[in-house]
Amino acid sequence: MNDLRFEPVSGDVGLSDWQHVHNLIIPTDPLTAAEVRERAGRNRLEVAYLGDTLVGCSTVRPPTEGTATVIARVLPAYRRQGIGTRLYTHVLAYARSLGPAVIETVVLESNADGLRFAEARGFVEIERYLLPGDTVPYVDLRLA
């Protein structure tokens, strides 16, 4: 797995790859290309590749009121291979470099793998909520 690499989203290919992973893992909130472009303007979005194969994506929301948010997503076929750990370690280091007092993440409740992954890395649930029109709650977790 030495050929795992993380690339900041830039250009149409990166935007499309990030969008693909997001929409597959968060099917309740599919994003358009314009919405991904807007997010890329305010957050750090990256895509993860194993060789030339897309395997995941990440988001780091810069600190607001002292809280930064990190989100690491790995496509189901590539889970339990250490990719998520490396992706999470990478985005966590970047988020910490921004100097937040608190780091949080958010996981769709139906993503049992994602919840287990976050909890195994020290995140503790702080809130569950539904967005307007949604039927599956999101879970906010804070790094203890």
pLDDT-derived band at 144, boundaries 50, 70, 90: confident
CB 31 within 8 A of CB 5: no
Token couple for 32: 């358009």
pLDDT digits (tens, 9 = 90+) for 108-131: 999 999 999 999 999 999 999 998
**CATH number for the domain harbouring residue 106:** 3.40.630.30
| Amino acid letter, residue 29 | D
Spatial distance between the Cα atoms of 62 and 111, rounded to a whole number of angstroms? 24
Spatial distance between the Cα atoms of 134 and 118, rounded to a whole number of angstroms? 22
Is residue 1 over pLDDT 70? no
Answering whether pTM is above 0.85, one says: yes
Spatial distance between the Cα atoms of 2 and 74, rounded to a whole number of angstroms? 17
Quote the number of domains for the chain: 1
- Name the residue range of residue 95's domain: 4-143
